[in-house]
């Protein structure tokens, strides 16, 4: 099975964010990490390859720093990587990002494409499904299990409120992967060493420019959300905080 | 023709998903801000009875978009049906709730029409005739106002809880219902869905709990869950968790709060080391009181907390257990 995993580099979960001078994006001098659901998507691809043989290719878009995500994936066992390298890729909407990916892989033939179910930065939850439509492939979202069948694959979709559903579908297909589908592995020392010699293809913005157009949506401004709730801060030593909380529980919330 | 807003309500197996009322409320608010006409549509194999239910609300018209091929739900059939309907109807704006089902087909539908979706919105603004939609970014740390730069129809989805479903205005009389049959060609549907099922009988029903102590990543290790359990026991409450804790197997899945778990509204929700990702917040923001403990003062959980404690939970929780025990003993 030949599987492409779309991965994204996002600001670390507890990184303090500041707006840049445009007011429509953040200052990029923060710490980054791999988008969490994408890590599960990669792990699932590696497990499928271990079962069925084949190849795992990872792809990302973004400035030079984004290569770190690919290096980590190669160290964990991906076979090769594709980097759409340009700072401008960060500003593309989901439609154009999917178009850029489709253009970058036009000479490849994958059986499956995995993405995380959404990103921790934009949170669109769209790029994978858009890519499927651009390629003319079927898709399924929020996947918790993948089994190869005679005619294709059987996947387990997570629905809301604890419900699930199995779906039979043909390949090639795009699947968006839910966190928790598997247990993540760590990169080994030997893996990290081998990653240095694995192929990494760079794709410039100019290589895919003709495939992408103007963004269909635009961030007018970014800001710290206004609080709708009045929050009272409880401060002091641990002991003092505990006393104050118990007082609130008893006298204001009346749950003690 | 005048500009119109179309709300596509969600139905599953012949039942209206209640979150659809929130989208109707949103549609009514945008209609009153823009002067555009509000209409609604139900898509499915048996859409007519739900269409009648929706027609009681203040909407100009309700469409029942029907085909036997829309049952059971598949993204292929829903996108094909709505593309056909919307291409003929040409509304200016199409609104849907940001449910798992909508997430599954709406990006495909918009792409097939060469359009875009502003997803998971929490509000809108009419800025001198220009509509902008507010959505959370970076897990709720920042908000963005987003506009459409493409031609209509524009698609937007609203986050669960962004509008009040019980505020959906009733109409003076029942709105007319029009049944629209759509043709879905053979071969369009590629996925074969099986029956919907529940994994196991939910052992724990947190929806009835009065006090919930919930843990997130900040608890760091499985063995530390114990102090949260002790606090829950001291308070006479139930233990719950955010998704990553259940993903790691530290607590069973039936203790998960959030969009993929349970939705709760206890008298007290004590969040320990939970950053407050949107997916968690939608499951607990209805709580009467929220106390949050987190070391990161910028954690989004503090945006919705009534009481914020910025600090190390490993210092605070043991002290709190002691105080609660003392208080219960009559101290």
List, for residues B131-145, the tens digit of each pLDDT value. 999 999 998 889 999
Average pLDDT on A87-99 reads 96
Out of A214, A217, A241, the one facing B319 most closely (by C-beta) is: A241
Sign of CA dihedral A207, A209, A212, A218: positive
Residue B140 is predicted with a pLDDT of: 86
Q: A231–B111: do the CB atoms touch at under 8 Å?
A: no
CA distance A140 to chain B (A): 7
Instruction: Specify whether B156 is located in the same domain as B102.
Output: yes
Residue among B101, B149, B268, B307 with most chain A CBs within 10 A, to mutate: B307
Q: Do B316 and A242 contact (CB within 8 A), yes or no?
A: yes
Q: A130–B261: do the CB atoms touch at under 8 Å?
A: no
Out of A14, A129, A255, the one facing B268 most closely (by C-beta) is: A255
Candidates A125, A112, A120, A175; CA nearest to A145 is A175
Q: A217–B148: do the CB atoms touch at under 8 Å?
A: yes
Residue A245 is predicted with a pLDDT of: 96
What is the residue whose two structure tokens read 């993405």?
A: A115
Q: Identify the domain boundary among B166, B181, B196.
A: B181
Q: How confident is the model at residue B2 (pLDDT cuts 50, 70, 90)?
A: confident
| Rounded distance between C-alpha atoms, residue B135 and residue B144, angstroms | 5
Average pLDDT on B106-125 reads 97
CA distance B272 to chain A (A): 14
User: What is the chain A residue with the closest CA to B296?
Assistant: A14
Checking if the pLDDT of B331 tops 80, the result is: no
A232, B258, B282 from B304: Cα distances, Å: 11, 15, 11
| Rounded distance between C-alpha atoms, residue A190 and residue B104, angstroms | 39
Summarised one tens digit per residue, pLDDT across range A108-157 is 999 999 999 999 999 999 999 999 999 999 999 999 999 999 999 999 99
Q: A166–B193: do the CB atoms touch at under 8 Å?
A: yes
Q: B150–A125: do the CB atoms touch at under 8 Å?
A: no
Instruction: Specify whether B212 is located in the same domain as B70.
Output: no
Instruction: Specify whether B177 is located in the same domain as B211.
Output: no
Residue A201: beta bridge partners?
A82
Instruction: Specify whether B125 is located in the same domain as B17.
Output: yes
**Helix/strand/coil percentages in chain B, nearest 5:** 35, 30, 35
CA distance B49 to chain A (A): 23
Instruction: Specify whether B14 is located in the same domain as B107.
Output: yes
| B316 within domain boundaries | yes
Average pLDDT, chain B: 94
Instruction: Specify whether B217 is located in the same domain as B170.
Output: no
Number of domains chain B contains: 2
Element (H, E) at B227: helix B225-235
Which of residues A176 and B161 earns the better pLDDT score? A176
Q: A122–B137: do the CB atoms touch at under 8 Å?
A: yes
Q: Which CATH class is domain A2-211?
A: alpha beta
Which residues does chain B have within 8 Å of residue A30's beta carbon, measured at their own beta carbons? none
Average pLDDT on B291-298 reads 95
Residues 6+ apart with CB under 8 A from A35: A7, A8, A9, A10, A116, A119, A120, A121
Residue B279 is predicted with a pLDDT of: 86
Q: Do B282 and B255 contact (CB within 8 A), yes or no?
A: no
Instruction: Specify whether B74 is located in the same domain as B176.
Output: yes
| Rounded distance between C-alpha atoms, residue A128 and residue A131, angstroms | 5
Pairing of the two strands B307-310 and A232-233: parallel
| B46 within domain boundaries | yes
Q: How confident is the model at residue A59 (pLDDT cuts 50, 70, 90)?
A: very high
CA distance B175 to chain A (A): 31
| B189 within domain boundaries | no
| B188 within domain boundaries | no
- Output the six-digit token pair for A55: 């190849």
Q: B191–A138: do the CB atoms touch at under 8 Å?
A: yes
Instruction: Specify whether B44 is located in the same domain as B86.
Output: yes
We report the CATH number of the domain holding residue B211 as 3.40.50.1220
Q: Provide the 3-class DSSP secondary structure of residue A83.
A: strand
Report the share of chain B in percent with pLDDT over 70. Answer: 98
Instruction: Specify whether B162 is located in the same domain as B287.
Output: no
Instruction: Specify whether B220 is located in the same domain as B76.
Output: no
Element (H, E) at A59: strand A55-62
Q: B116–A94: do the CB atoms touch at under 8 Å?
A: yes
Q: B139–A120: do the CB atoms touch at under 8 Å?
A: yes
| B197 within domain boundaries | no
What is the residue whose two structure tokens read 């049906």?
A: B81
Candidates B11, B2, B8; CA nearest to B34 is B2
Instruction: Specify whether B52 is located in the same domain as B141.
Output: yes
We report the CATH number of the domain holding residue B128 as 3.40.50.620
Instruction: Specify whether B89 is located in the same domain as B148.
Output: yes
Q: Do B83 and B113 contact (CB within 8 A), yes or no?
A: yes
Residue A222 is predicted with a pLDDT of: 96
Please give the model's pTM, rounded to 2 decimal places: 0.89
Q: Do B42 and B9 contact (CB within 8 A), yes or no?
A: yes
Q: How confident is the model at residue B202 (pLDDT cuts 50, 70, 90)?
A: low
| B187 within domain boundaries | no
Q: Do B175 and B55 contact (CB within 8 A), yes or no?
A: yes
B105 lies in which domain range?
4-181
| Rounded distance between C-alpha atoms, residue A155 and residue A101, angstroms | 24
Which residues does chain B have within 8 Å of residue A162's beta carbon, measured at their own beta carbons? 198-199, 202, 253-254, 260-262
Residue B253 is predicted with a pLDDT of: 86
CA distance B248 to chain A (A): 7
Out of B149, B202, B306, the one facing A231 most closely (by C-beta) is: B306
Domain boundaries, chain A: 2-211, 225-256
CA distance B42 to chain A (A): 20
Q: How many CB pairs under 8 A join A and B?
A: 250
């Amino acid at each position: 099975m030949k599987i492409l995993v779309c991965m994204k580099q996002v600001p670390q979960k507890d990184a303090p964010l500041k707006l840049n001078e445009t007011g429509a994006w953040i200052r990029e001098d923060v710490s980054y990490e791999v988008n969490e659901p994408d890590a599960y998507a990669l792990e699932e691809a590696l497990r499928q390859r271990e079962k069925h043989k084949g190849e795992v290719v990872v792809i990302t878009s973004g400035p030079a720093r984004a290569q770190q995500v690919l290096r980590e994936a190669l160290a964990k066992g991906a076979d090769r990587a594709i980097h759409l390298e340009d700072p401008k890729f960060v500003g593309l909407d989901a439609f154009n990002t999917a178009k850029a990916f489709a253009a970058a892989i036009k000479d490849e033939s994958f059986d499956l494409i995995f993405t995380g179910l959404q990103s921790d930065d934009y949170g669109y939850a769209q790029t994978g499904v858009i890519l499927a439509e651009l390629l003319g492939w079927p898709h399924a979202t929020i996947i918790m299990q993948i089994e190869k069948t005679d005619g294709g694959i059987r996947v387990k979709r997570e629905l809301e409120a604890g419900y699930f559903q199995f779906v039979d579908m043909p390949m090639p297909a795009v699947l968006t992967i839910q966190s928790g589908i598997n247990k993540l592995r760590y990169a080994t020392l030997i893996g990290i060493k081998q990653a240095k010699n694995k192929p990494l293809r760079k794709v410039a913005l100019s290589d895919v420019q003709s495939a992408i157009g103007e963004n269909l949506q635009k961030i007018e401004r970014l800001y710290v959300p206004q609080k709708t709730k009045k929050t009272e801060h409880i401060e002091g030593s641990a002991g003092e905080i505990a006393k104050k909380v118990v007082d609130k529980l008893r006298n204001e919330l009346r749950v003690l | 023709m005048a500009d119109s807003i179309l709300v596509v309500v969600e139905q599953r197996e012949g039942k209206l998903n209640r979150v659809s009322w929130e989208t109707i409320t949103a549609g009514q608010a945008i209609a009153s801000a823009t002067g555009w006409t509000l209409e609604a549509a139900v898509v499915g194999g048996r859409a007519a009875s739900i269409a009648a239910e929706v027609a009681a609300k203040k909407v100009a018209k309700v469409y029942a978009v029907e085909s036997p091929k829309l049952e059971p739900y598949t993204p292929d059939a829903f996108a094909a049906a709505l593309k056909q309907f919307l291409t003929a109807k040409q509304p200016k704006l199409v609104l849907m709730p940001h449910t798992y089902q909508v997430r599954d087909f709406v990006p495909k539908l918009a792409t097939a029409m060469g359009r875009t979706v502003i997803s998971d919105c929490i509000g809108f603004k009419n800025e001198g005739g220009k509509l902008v939609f507010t959505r959370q970014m970076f897990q709720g740390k920042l908000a963005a106002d987003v506009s459409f730069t493409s031609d209509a129809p524009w698609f937007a989805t609203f986050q669960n809880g962004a509008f009040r479903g019980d505020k959906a205005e009733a109409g003076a009389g029942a709105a007319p219902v029009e049944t629209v049959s759509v043709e879905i060609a053979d071969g369009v549907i590629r996925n074969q869905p099986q029956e919907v099922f529940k994994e196991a009988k939910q052992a724990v029903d947190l929806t009835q709990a009065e006090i919930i102590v919930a843990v997130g990543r900040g608890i760091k290790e499985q063995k530390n869950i114990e102090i949260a359990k002790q606090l829950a026991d001291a308070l006479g409450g139930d233990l719950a968790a955010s998704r990553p804790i259940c993903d790691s197997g530290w607590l069973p899945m039936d203790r998960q709060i959030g969009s993929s778990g349970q939705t709760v509204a206890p008298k007290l929700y004590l969040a320990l080391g939970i950053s407050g990702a949107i997916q968690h917040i939608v499951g607990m923001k209805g709580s009467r009181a929220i106390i949050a403990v987190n070391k990161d003062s910028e954690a989004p959980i503090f945006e919705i907390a009534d009481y914020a404690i910025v600090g190390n939970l490993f210092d605070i929780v043991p002290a709190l257990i002691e105080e609660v025990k003392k208080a219960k003993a009559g101290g």
